[in-house]
A and B are shown apart, each in its own frame.
Chain A
Amino acid sequence: MTNSEKNRLKDKAFQVFGIFCTFIGLVVLAIFLIDIVIEGIGRIDWDFLTSLPSRRAARAGILTAWAGTLWILVLSALIAFPLGIAAGIYLEEYAKKTKLSDFLEINIANLAGVPSIIYGLLGLELFVRFMHLGPVLLVGALTLSLLILPIVIVTTREAIKAVPRTIRDGSFALGASKWQTVWNQVLPASFGGILTGVILALSRAVGEAAPLIVIGALAYVPFVPSSPMDEFTVLPIQIFNWTSRPQAAFLTNAAAAIIVLLLITFLLNGIAVYLRHRQQKKIKW
């Protein structure tokens, strides 16, 4: 075999290996999804979506669970977005580069990697025990807000950083203040990027069960929450509860609930991808 033949063989070998690596993740995911869909799709109907939980699998529905998930989604968004975006703007546009800001920066990045159950314990201690709020929607949303806050801050900063220096200079040179520049130039130009990151953070929050179980959210809530101070459950907790039961019918319920949860997540991610795409088309520096 000549050298060039050897090289071509190596090239080919890596190509095959690369395809294998690429597909292994996809295949596992596909098998999981197909399995879930086969198991659960027949169970999804109007009754399943609009029924309260029940001890009997055939009568149990996910109304309270998805209503809780929706509540959590909206409340977390309302809490985490303003805080995270404001913090991101401050760190990127206002804070002077000092030892303190470096320290903050590193720690915010670290916080994004802290396991979610730790946030659950923090929420339990701070909101449930110290502030006596009880295991209610507001506490769940506050806890998940803490969880996604670092992600929102980091993505906001990345999106703001992508706005060229020259745009800020142009605005300052016309007599604009820092806030006018941020509000009129930086935020509109980076809004798509910020929103993308924020939605991805939310889709992470939607899938969390552990921190909510820790703060005391229940699996069995026989009513639809009507205020942030109501007790609640969410889809992941409902799924967790059903999969831990011995009866096969509950496993089918769990599969059906997983499909609904996945649809919510895919929808959020889809919106994020769409927004990013639109932003890229709109603005070319």
Chain B
Amino acid sequence: MTKKQSKLEASNLDAFYGDFQALKNINIAMEEKAVTAFIGPSGCGKSTFLRTLNRMNDYIDGFRIQGQIQLDGRDIYAADVRVDELRKEVGMVFQKPNPFPKTIYENVVYGLKIQGIKDKKLLQETCEKSLQQAALWNEVKDKLDKSALALSGGQQQRLCIARALAIQPSVILMDEPASALDPISTAKIEDLIHELKKDYTIVIVTHNMQQAGRVSDHTAFFYMGELVEHAKTKTMFTSPKDTRTQNYITGRFG
């Protein structure tokens, strides 16, 4: 097996909220077209790190970083990088399903419309394709003009995934995408992640160890702002190197 290329890479990354240092010297490379899971107890920095990957922390007063994050070898915090261009490349799905209070169709094509795309045919085709990719098309194809808020939580989350896919990113960040969902909806999201990793690089934050085990190829364990361990998921779960990792995945804390 040839070694896959790394898609995203952080080097010597520190992050601060005002005086508080949330991330300490993070070095990690995330493989292309694979799933990398971030695990760790609350407040360990995993979500902060995820949100630095598409610069969602930019709007938080007092947030700053040192070090580098590279996407396909390009520094995403460089002065000439435009945040909106970056986010077209790096999509994001949030913890709580957050559909816009608009129709299902409008939700999916929102990302295209704000790019100024008006071609109706293109919008409709993209809408269908994205909903199919997100395994939602069959459930909603007859009610595209109905409010997205009328969908169930699990459907809403798949709609948010479809919405992210519509702008054709190469990376999808998922911040605990199933933590607000019931087990059946969770299973659907996990199946979907399996499908999507054929075409996309996926980074997922999860609190659920079993979920990390089921969906990810690589796992990174964060603790108190440090990246303690990063390895193949199987290796990590069977023979963790660090005692903190071992204690966490065996449920001794967190």
Contact = CB atoms under 8 A, between A and B. Distances in A.
Interface residues of B, number: 25
A283 B110 contact: no
Contacts of B91: 173-174
A171 B56 CA distance: 11
A184 interface: yes
A174 B56 contact: no
Contacts of B163: 170, 174
Interface in A118-176: 164, 166-167, 169-176
B110 A164 contact: no
A180 interface: yes
Contacts of A284: 149
A243 interface: no
B110 A173 contact: no
Given A164-B98, A170-B98, A189-B101, A175 B149 contact: no
Interface string B101-133: 100000000110011000000000000000000
Nearest to A177: B84
Contact of B84 (A167, A175, A188): A175
Interface string A175-207: 111001000110011000000000000000000
Interface residues of A, number: 22
User: Is the contact region of chain A dominated by helix, strand, or loop, or is it mixed?
Assistant: helix
Given A175-B84, A184-B114, A185-B100, A170 B56 contact: no
B158 interface: no
Contacts of B110: 171, 174, 176, 184
B164 interface: yes
Interface of B: 54, 56, 59, 61, 84-85, 87-88, 91-92, 94, 96, 98-101, 110-111, 114-115, 149, 160, 163-164, 167
Question: What 5 A-B pairs have minimum CB-CB distances, sorted nearest first?
Answer: A174-B111, A166-B98, A173-B92, A175-B84, A175-B87
Interface of A: 96-97, 164, 166-167, 169-177, 180, 184-185, 188-189, 282-284
